[in-house]
Amino acid sequence: MSANIGFIGLGNMGGPMASNLLKAGHKVKVFDLMPAAVEKLAASGATVCQDAKQACDDVQVLISMLPASIHVENLYLGEAGILSSIAPQTLVVDCSTIAPETSRLVAANAAERGIQMLDAPVSGGVGGAVAATLTFIVGGEKAALELARPIFENMGKNIFHAGAAGAGQVAKFCNNMLLSVLMTGTAEALQLGVDNGLDAGVLSEIMRQSSGGNWALEVYNPYPGVMDNVPASKDYEGGFLVDLMIKDLGLAMEAALQQGASVPLGSLARNLYINHGKAGYGRKDFSSIQKIYNKDEPES
Amino acid sequence: MSANIGFIGLGNMGGPMASNLLKAGHKVKVFDLMPAAVEKLAASGATVCQDAKQACDDVQVLISMLPASIHVENLYLGEAGILSSIAPQTLVVDCSTIAPETSRLVAANAAERGIQMLDAPVSGGVGGAVAATLTFIVGGEKAALELARPIFENMGKNIFHAGAAGAGQVAKFCNNMLLSVLMTGTAEALQLGVDNGLDAGVLSEIMRQSSGGNWALEVYNPYPGVMDNVPASKDYEGGFLVDLMIKDLGLAMEAALQQGASVPLGSLARNLYINHGKAGYGRKDFSSIQKIYNKDEPES
Amino acid sequence: MSANIGFIGLGNMGGPMASNLLKAGHKVKVFDLMPAAVEKLAASGATVCQDAKQACDDVQVLISMLPASIHVENLYLGEAGILSSIAPQTLVVDCSTIAPETSRLVAANAAERGIQMLDAPVSGGVGGAVAATLTFIVGGEKAALELARPIFENMGKNIFHAGAAGAGQVAKFCNNMLLSVLMTGTAEALQLGVDNGLDAGVLSEIMRQSSGGNWALEVYNPYPGVMDNVPASKDYEGGFLVDLMIKDLGLAMEAALQQGASVPLGSLARNLYINHGKAGYGRKDFSSIQKIYNKDEPES
Amino acid sequence: MSANIGFIGLGNMGGPMASNLLKAGHKVKVFDLMPAAVEKLAASGATVCQDAKQACDDVQVLISMLPASIHVENLYLGEAGILSSIAPQTLVVDCSTIAPETSRLVAANAAERGIQMLDAPVSGGVGGAVAATLTFIVGGEKAALELARPIFENMGKNIFHAGAAGAGQVAKFCNNMLLSVLMTGTAEALQLGVDNGLDAGVLSEIMRQSSGGNWALEVYNPYPGVMDNVPASKDYEGGFLVDLMIKDLGLAMEAALQQGASVPLGSLARNLYINHGKAGYGRKDFSSIQKIYNKDEPES
Last residue of a domain, one of A125, A141, A164: A164
Q: Which amino acid is at C70?
A: I
Evaluate whether D5 touches D28 at the Cβ level (below 8 Å).
Answer: yes
* C39 lies in the same domain as C158: yes
Q: Do A262 and C274 touch (CB under 8 A)?
A: yes
Evaluate whether B243 touches B288 at the Cβ level (below 8 Å).
Answer: no
* C145 lies in the same domain as C215: no
- pLDDT computed for residue C295 by the predictor: 57
- CA B166, CA C32: separation in Å to the nearest integer? 70
Q: Is residue B300 part of a domain?
A: no
For residue B162, which residues of chain A lie inside 8 Å, CB to CB?
198, 202-203, 206
Q: Is residue D299 part of a domain?
A: no
* A153 lies in the same domain as A136: yes
- CA B98, CA B168: separation in Å to the nearest integer? 10
D299 → closest Cβ in A277, A294, A295: A277
Evaluate whether D167 touches C197 at the Cβ level (below 8 Å).
Answer: yes
Task: Give me the percent of chain B exceeding a pLDDT of 70.
Answer: 98
A260 → closest Cβ in C261, C262, C274: C274
Residue A20 DSSP class: H
- CA C198, CA D162: separation in Å to the nearest integer? 7
Is residue B219's pLDDT more than 90? Answer: yes
CA C130 to chain CA centroid, Å, is: 13
- pLDDT computed for residue B300 by the predictor: 40
Q: State the burial class of residue C243 (Cβ atoms within 10 Å of its Cβ: 0-12, 13-18, 19+).
A: middle
Is residue A299's pLDDT more than 50? Answer: no
Of B65-74, B76-85, B243-252, D207-216, minimum mean pLDDT range: B76-85
B284 is catalytic: no
Sign of torsion over alpha carbons D233, D236, D238, D239? positive
- CA C120, CA C171: separation in Å to the nearest integer? 10
Averaged over D10-23, what is the pLDDT?
97
pLDDT tens for A140-151 read 999 999 999 999
Evaluate whether D155 touches D145 at the Cβ level (below 8 Å).
Answer: no
Helices (H), chain B: 14-23, 35-43, 69-77, 100-112, 125-131, 142-155, 167-195, 200-208, 215-219, 242-259, 264-276
pLDDT tens for A205-262 read 999 999 999 999 999 999 999 999 999 999 999 889 999 999 999 999 999 999 999 9
Is residue B190's pLDDT more than 60? Answer: yes
* A16 lies in the same domain as A146: yes
For residue D278, which residues of chain A lie inside 8 Å, CB to CB?
292-295, 298-299
3-state secondary structure chain C: CCCEEEEECCCCCHHHHHHHHHHCCCEEEEECCCHHHHHHHHHCCCEECCCCCHHHCCCCEEEECCCCHHHHHHHHHCCCCCHHHCCCCCEEEECCCCCHHHHHHHHHHHHHCCCEEEECCEECHHHHHHHCCEEEEEECCHHHHHHHHHHHHHHEEEEEEEECCCHHHHHHHHHHHHHHHHHHHHHHHHHHHHHCCCCHHHHHHHHHHCCCCEHHHHHCCCCCCCCCCCHHHCCCCCCCEHHHHHHHHHHHHHHHHHHCCCCHHHHHHHHHHHHHHHHHHCCCEHHHHHHHHCCCCCCC
Averaged over B112-119, what is the pLDDT?
96
Q: State the burial class of residue C148 (Cβ atoms within 10 Å of its Cβ: 0-12, 13-18, 19+).
A: buried
Which residues share a beta bridge with C6?
Answer: C29, C62
Of A40, A172, A284, A291, catalytic? A172
pLDDT tens for B245-258 read 999 999 999 999 99
Is residue A300's pLDDT more than 50? Answer: no
* A160 lies in the same domain as A279: no
Of C172, C278, C284, C295, catalytic? C172
Q: Is residue D131 part of a domain?
A: yes
- pLDDT computed for residue D1 by the predictor: 73
Q: Hey, which residues 20-79 in chain A have their CB within 8 Å of chain C?
A: none
What does each C-alpha distance from D83 to D14, D49, D65 come to in angstroms? Answer: 20, 17, 16
Helix (H) or strand (E) holding A5: strand A4-8
pLDDT tens for B261-295 read 999 999 999 999 999 999 999 999 999 999 999 85
* C139 lies in the same domain as C188: no
- CA D126, CA D133: separation in Å to the nearest integer? 10
Closest chain B residue to the Cα of A122, Cα to Cα? B210
Task: Give me the percent of chain A exceeding a pLDDT of 90.
Answer: 94
Residue B241 DSSP class: B
- Residue B238: band (very low, low, confident or very high) from pLDDT cuts 50, 70, 90: confident
Query: Which residues have CB under 8 Å from C85's CB, separation 6+?
Result: C53, C56, C57
Into how many domains does chain C fold? 2
* B150 lies in the same domain as B17: yes
The interface pTM score, or ipTM, of the predicted complex is 0.95
Last residue of a domain, one of C147, C164, C181: C164
* A160 lies in the same domain as A179: no
Averaged over D120-133, what is the pLDDT?
94
State the CATH number of the domain containing residue C70: 3.40.50.720
* Helix-helix angle A14-23:A35-43, to 10 degrees: 20
Is residue D50's pLDDT more than 80? Answer: yes
A128 versus D79: the higher-pLDDT residue is A128
Task: Give me the percent of chain C exceeding a pLDDT of 70.
Answer: 98
Closest chain C residue to the Cα of A253, Cα to Cα? C257
Q: How far is B92 from chain C (nearest CA, A)?
A: 35
Averaged over A191-205, what is the pLDDT?
98
- pLDDT computed for residue B296 by the predictor: 55
What does each C-alpha distance from B97 to B69, B139, B172, B283, D203 come to in angstroms? Answer: 8, 12, 8, 19, 51
Nearest CA among C207, B39, A207 for reference residue D160: C207
* D25 lies in the same domain as D126: yes
Q: Is residue A179 part of a domain?
A: yes
Averaged over C113-120, what is the pLDDT?
97
- CB contact A178 to B (< 8 Å): yes
Closest chain D residue to the Cα of C176, Cα to Cα? D212
Q: Is residue A93 part of a domain?
A: yes
- Residue D78: band (very low, low, confident or very high) from pLDDT cuts 50, 70, 90: confident
Which residues share a beta bridge with D64?
Answer: D8, D94
* D193 lies in the same domain as D131: no
B268 → closest Cβ in D246, D261, D268: D268
Q: Is residue A115 part of a domain?
A: yes
Q: Is residue C300 part of a domain?
A: no
* A82 lies in the same domain as A209: no
State the CATH number of the domain containing residue A275: 1.10.1040.10
Averaged over A49-65, what is the pLDDT?
96
Evaluate whether C82 touches C114 at the Cβ level (below 8 Å).
Answer: no
Evaluate whether C106 touches C115 at the Cβ level (below 8 Å).
Answer: no
Q: Do D263 and B271 touch (CB under 8 A)?
A: yes
C294 versus D286: the higher-pLDDT residue is D286
- CA D300, CA D293: separation in Å to the nearest integer? 15
Q: Is residue A299 part of a domain?
A: no
- Residue A56: band (very low, low, confident or very high) from pLDDT cuts 50, 70, 90: very high
Query: Which residues have CB under 8 Å from C180's CB, separation 6+?
Result: C245, C249, C266, C269, C270, C273, C286
Q: If you count residue pairs, one on B and one on D, with CB atoms under 8 Å apart, how many are there?
A: 46
Residue numbers of the domain that contains D79? 4-163
Closest chain A residue to the Cα of D188, Cα to Cα? A271
Is residue D182's pLDDT more than 80? Answer: yes
Q: Do D253 and B250 touch (CB under 8 A)?
A: no
Helices (H), chain A: 14-23, 35-43, 69-77, 100-112, 125-131, 142-155, 167-195, 200-209, 215-219, 242-259, 264-276
Evaluate whether D58 touches D3 at the Cβ level (below 8 Å).
Answer: no
For residue D272, which residues of chain B lie inside 8 Å, CB to CB?
264
- Residue A276: band (very low, low, confident or very high) from pLDDT cuts 50, 70, 90: very high
Is residue D192's pLDDT more than 70? Answer: yes
Of B124-128, B190-194, D38-42, minimum mean pLDDT range: B124-128
* D23 lies in the same domain as D155: yes
Last residue of a domain, one of B116, B147, B164: B164
Evaluate whether B18 touches B41 at the Cβ level (below 8 Å).
Answer: yes
